[in-house]
Every structure is written in structure tokens, then in C-alpha cells.
Amino acid sequence: MLALLGLLLVVWLACIVLGVVVKGLFWLIIVGAILFAATAVIGFVKRKTLGRG
């Protein structure tokens, strides 16, 4: 489960970078940042719940 969350973090980070590189895709920066933050929070909560933190 945590590996999937790590993969999602990498995908969202790639979306943010793509949004920065392509000037017309500012919305991609916003969506990528929101999804990155949400996935990081979910991963942090899951990690604490599983007792690995």
C-alpha cells in the first residue's frame, strides 16, 4: 500500500514539473500540488496507523 502511495507521489510530482515546463498548464501545477499534498497526508496517516512511524 505504501509503495502505491510512493508511486502516486512521483506521478503528482511529474505533473507539477510538467505544468512548470509547459507555460500554458498552470492548472496542472495546482492539481498536481493538491493531489501530492493529499497523497502525502494519506501516506503519513497510514504509516502512523500501521505503527511504522
The most distant pair of C-alpha atoms in the chain lies apart, rounded to whole Å, by: 43
Confidence band for 52, pLDDT divided at 50, 70 and 90: low
Is residue 53 over pLDDT 60? Answer: no
pLDDT value for 31: 87
DSSP secondary-structure letter at 51? T
Q: What is the pLDDT of residues 19-50, one digit of tens each?
A: 888 877 888 888 888 988 998 888 888 877 77
Domain ranges of the chain: 2-49
CA distance 43 to 1: 9
